[in-house]
């Protein structure tokens, strides 16, 4: 579903990681770990096609759903309508209600996004991922700001998605329960410390 | 037109209108049109002669007002990232924004030109010419505003830099727009040509600027 072949990522003249290879199959999951600044978010953005690799190839044509630190929901809209904008763009307008339910957000459907708390926004963003219906989820620190109950909902959502044949690429420094996972520790990859711009 | 494009245009239009955002350029347009008579003096003949040019300059200044809201907020909130991840091209996103910006900005200005022309004591004939030239020229102005907005997105003091970038580039529109008021069809054709070039080029310039801003 997603294949990295000897991918090198250079940001601001510095090689973040080099020669990264892995393959993500249907129903698979990969967990990217490493200290701050090691390139976890860049790896997610590479997978989303927002950055180009300096070397190597990234292949895979499955539709992707991207979770970044921003919720990307229109602040002035009620939550359900803000989610519906993206769901309609994905041709999945009917999936919003189920996604809200999956993250226990049904009660907040009519609340404007700007009034939501940090954790509620995070859950809303995860609901956007679920509603997209995309087979490949790219999650950058999905557990940030989530309480224990919400973390459980996230784990359930991920398990449901994988059981349906979806794949997950996740960067996280929060321990999160994932079965049968490809571990990508960016700190362990060989790399040059400095490189000319 | 594909439905994602319409969907994006509808969203941008809605966001332009909330909080009276689309009324700001119109209020600014009217204000400039009102200020000129104060500066020039109550000479009706003089005002009637320069009034068309004043309206064009006012439209140009009004086009500057929303520049910072066109692209930068969507880059900051990750909306552009989301659209690109869904396989929309940066140029398509920019094209949707161009159409939405024109729809939010031009019709209100065309309507505001009616009271403004009364303030300047323009003849009906001149008013019609102003309206026609604005109708042809405002897509070019919207295109310039979009390309500039994308280029300066994320910079500090973006508004001031945007003005410095846009105003010189808008000179051809102003020359042919104001020039067409004397009744020359040639100036109108040149105005249409300039406007068309800007509309055709701006989505690609803005798209490239958006992609460059990702890194």
A182: CATH: 3.40.50.300
Q: What confidence category does residue A197 fall into, taking pLDDT thresholds of 50, 70 and 90?
A: very low
Interface with B, mutate which of A66, A132, A133 (most B CBs under 10 A): A66
Distance CA A183, CA B198 (A): 50
Interface with A, mutate which of B9, B82, B211 (most A CBs under 10 A): B82
Question: Would you call A4 helix, strand, or coil by DSSP?
Answer: strand
Residue A71 clears pLDDT 80, i.e. is over it: yes
The residue segments making up the domain with residue A125 are 70-130
Cβ contact B191:B136 at 8 Å: yes
pLDDT at A136: 94
Residue B19 clears pLDDT 70, i.e. is over it: no
Residue A194 clears pLDDT 60, i.e. is over it: no
pLDDT at A195: 43
pLDDT (mean) for B6-26? 85
pLDDT (mean) for A116-125? 93
Q: Which of A89, A70, A72 is nearest to B92 (CA)?
A: A89
pLDDT at A190: 62
Q: What is the pLDDT of residues A143-170, one digit of tens each?
A: 888 999 999 999 999 999 999 999 999 9
pLDDT at B91: 95
Structurally, how many domains does chain B consist of? 1
Q: What confidence category does residue A180 fall into, taking pLDDT thresholds of 50, 70 and 90?
A: confident
Structurally, how many domains does chain A consist of? 2
Alpha carbon distance, N-terminus to C-terminus of chain A: 33
Q: What confidence category does residue B2 fall into, taking pLDDT thresholds of 50, 70 and 90?
A: low
Cβ contact A72:B78 at 8 Å: yes
CB-CB neighbors (< 8 A) of A68 in chain B: 78, 81
Question: What pTM did the predictor assign?
Answer: 0.90
Query: How much of chain B exceeds pLDDT 90, in percent?
Result: 56
Tell which of A79, A99, A130 closes a domain: A130
Cβ contact A172:A144 at 8 Å: no
pLDDT (mean) for B71-91? 92
Q: What is the pLDDT of residues A82-116, one digit of tens each?
A: 999 999 988 888 889 999 999 999 999 999 999 99
Region of B151 (left: φ > 0; alpha: ψ -120 to 50; beta: rest) is: alpha
β pairing state of A14-24 and A2-11: antiparallel
Q: How far is CA B84 from the centre of its chain?
A: 25
Tell which of A130, A156, A176 closes a domain: A130
Instruction: Tell me: do A48 and A139 sit in the same domain.
Output: yes
Instruction: Tell me: do A126 and A145 sit in the same domain.
Output: no
* Pick from A70, A71, A90: CB nearest B86: A90
pLDDT at B20: 67
Instruction: Tell me: do A177 and A195 sit in the same domain.
Output: yes
β pairing state of A136-140 and A167-171: parallel
Residues of B with CB under 8 A from a CB of A: 4, 7, 11, 15, 18, 76-79, 81-87, 214-215
The residue segments making up the domain with residue B14 are 3-212
A-B CB pairs within 8 A amount to 49
pLDDT (mean) for B113-139? 92
Query: Smallest CA–CA separation between B27 and chain A, in Å?
Result: 23
Cβ contact A125:A67 at 8 Å: yes
Tell which of A99, A130, A161 closes a domain: A130
Residue A48: phi, psi to the nearest 5? Answer: -80, -5
Residues of A with CB under 8 A from a CB of B: 11, 45, 48-51, 63-66, 68-72, 74, 76, 85-86, 88-90, 138
* Pick from A49, A68, A85: CB nearest B11: A85
């Amino acid at each position: 579903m997603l294949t990295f072949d000897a991918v090198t990522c250079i940001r601001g003249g510095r090689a973040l990681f080099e020669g990264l290879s892995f393959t993500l199959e249907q129903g698979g999951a990969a967990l990217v770990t490493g200290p701050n600044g090691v390139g976890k978010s860049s790896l997610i953005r590479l997978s989303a096609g927002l950055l180009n690799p300096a070397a190597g190839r990234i292949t895979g044509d499955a539709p992707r759903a991207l979770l970044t630190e921003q919720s990307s929901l229109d602040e002035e809209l009620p939550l359900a309508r803000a989610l519906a904008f993206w769901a309609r763009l994905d041709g999945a307008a009917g999936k919003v209600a189920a996604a809200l339910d999956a993250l226990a957000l049904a009660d907040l459907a009519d609340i404007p996004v700007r009034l939501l708390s940090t954790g509620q926004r995070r859950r809303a963003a995860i609901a956007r991922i679920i509603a997209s219906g995309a087979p490949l989820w790219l999650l950058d620190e999905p557990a940030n700001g989530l309480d224990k109950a919400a973390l459980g909902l996230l784990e359930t959502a991920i398990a449901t998605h994988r059981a349906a044949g979806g794949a997950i690429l996740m960067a996280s420094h929060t321990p999160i329960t994932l079965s049968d996972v490809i571990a990508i520790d960016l700190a362990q990859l060989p790399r040059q410390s400095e490189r000319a711009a | 037109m594909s439905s994602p494009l319409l969907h994006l245009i509808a969203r941008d239009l809605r966001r332009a209108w909330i909080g009276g955002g689309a009324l700001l350029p119109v209020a600014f347009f009217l204000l400039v049109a009102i200020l000129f008579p104060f500066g020039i003096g109550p000479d009706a003949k003089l005002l009637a002669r320069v009034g068309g040019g004043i309206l064009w300059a006012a439209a140009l200044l009004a086009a500057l007002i929303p520049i910072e809201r066109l692209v930068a907020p969507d880059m900051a909130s990750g909306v552009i990232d989301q659209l690109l991840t869904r396989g929309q091209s940066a140029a398509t996103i920019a094209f949707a924004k161009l159409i939405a910006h024109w729809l939010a900005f031009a019709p209100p200005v065309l309507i505001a030109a009616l009271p403004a022309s009364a303030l300047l004591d323009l003849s009906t004939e001149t008013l019609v010419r102003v309206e026609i030239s604005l109708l042809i020229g405002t897509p070019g102005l919207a295109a310039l505003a979009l390309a500039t907005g994308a280029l300066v997105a994320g910079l500090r003091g973006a508004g001031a830099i945007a003005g410095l970038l846009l105003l010189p580039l808008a000179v051809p529109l102003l020359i042919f727009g104001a020039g067409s008021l004397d009744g020359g069809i040639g100036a109108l054709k040149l105005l249409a040509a300039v406007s068309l070039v800007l509309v055709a080029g701006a989505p690609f310039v803005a798209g490239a600027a958006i992609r460059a801003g990702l890194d």
